[in-house]
Each structure stands twice: as C-alpha cells, then as structure tokens.
Amino acid sequence: MSRRIAKSEVVEAAGSDPGNAPRRSAGSAQELAVVGVVRSPVTEPVDHGWGLVTSEIELESAYHGALRGLEDFSHAVIVCLLHRARYQPELHRVRRPRGQADMPEVGIFAQRAKDRPNPIGLTAVEIVAVDGDRLTVRGLDAVDGTPVLDIKPYYPIYDRVESPRVPEWVGRLMSGYF
C-alpha cells in the first residue's frame, strides 16, 4: 500500500500554520500519493554540486511496473515533497537568494529556494538506469529520504523553452549548483 500525504501534512511540512491555509469547501480534501523515496548520499541540504550526485528512487510497492518504458528516455522530471523545508513568510517571502549580499531582493516566486509556501521540488534529471522498481538518476537536488510525488518522462515539446529570458544574477547564483 502506498503512503498518502494529506493536505494538512503538506502545510505542516511547509512550516505554515494550517489556520492560514486557503479554505476549501467541504468534501474537497486533497491527498497526494508518495510514489517513492529518494536514496541519496547527500543527507543535508547543500547549494552546490548536485550535478555530480547519483541518486536512486525506490518506488512504493503499489507502483510496481510503473517505470516500464522509462528506460527509453534519457531524462525525467522528478516532483518531490521538500519535507525538510520550512517556509516562514517573514523570512522567505522577499529575500536575497541564498542570503547572498550580491543578489537582489526578490520575491519567493522569482527564485527556486526550497523554503516555499508549498514545499514542492521539481527537477529535470538524467536517467542513469531503470532496474525494476528502482530508478537511478543524476542531478536530483533532493536529500536522502525525500518523498517523491511524481516521475514524468522529459518531453522536449513540453519541458524546453527555446530562448528563455532570465536575469543576469541567475547565472552567478547557479554557478557550481549542477
């Protein structure tokens, strides 16, 4: 049986007060299924070197066979619950990325910080191997034990932007990250 995450657990993982969560009508409870867990040599969050990290995603038994066909792709998009992130609006809503003095103050939605209102991680990774119910990837910026919410094949038609515009500071910030 797969583990399910109730909306209240997601709010709790984000470090927010459930009383401040958006209200939903009765009967509209939301749950997210944990489809697997990250097994990584990285046990503490870091801000560099993720491109060299090889991790495995172990699927929950309820998803046996769900990786079939993924071996035909070179890349996948991994959606994770950033279970160790703690969003504190007064600290994270507007800040300098990574707290670096040479970065501009920007809102949380103009950066990729882990401490977010909804602790969802999204990373395109290289597929190293698919072995039964185990997916080995390179470049996943998630620590050991991170719950995986979804795995999607990388489709260039959906996932690639030909000529994106990004601020100059992003290149400096991301130097050495991957």
Are 119 and 81 in contact by the 8 Å Cβ rule? The answer is: yes
Residue at 122 is within a domain = yes
Least Cα distance to 79 among 154, 173, 6, 28 occurs for 154
Domain count, the chain: 1
Q: Determine, yes or no, domain membership for 73.
A: yes
* CATH for 11: 2.40.30.70
Give the pLDDT confidence of 77-110 residue by residue, as tens digits. 999 999 998 899 999 999 998 889 999 999 999 9
Q: Residues 109-128: what's their mean pLDDT?
A: 92
Determine, yes or no, domain membership for 144: yes
At 128-158, the pLDDT tens digits run: 999 999 999 999 999 999 999 999 999 999 8
As to burial, measured by CB atoms within 10 angstroms (0-12 exposed, 13-18 middle, 19+ buried), residue 54 is middle
Residue 44 maps to a domain: no
Find the domain containing 109 and state its range.
4-18+50-160+169-174
Does 33 reside within a domain?
no
- The pLDDT score that the predictor gives to residue 29 is 67
Q: Is the distance from CB of 53 to CB of 128 less than 8 angstroms? A: no
> Residue 57 domain-assigned?
yes
Q: Are 81 and 120 in contact (CB under 8 A)?
A: yes
pLDDT in tens, 45-69: 887 788 899 999 999 999 999 999 9
Quote the CA–CA distance of 104 and 60 in Å, as a whole number.
Answer: 41
* Residue 103: alpha-carbon gap to chain centroid: 23
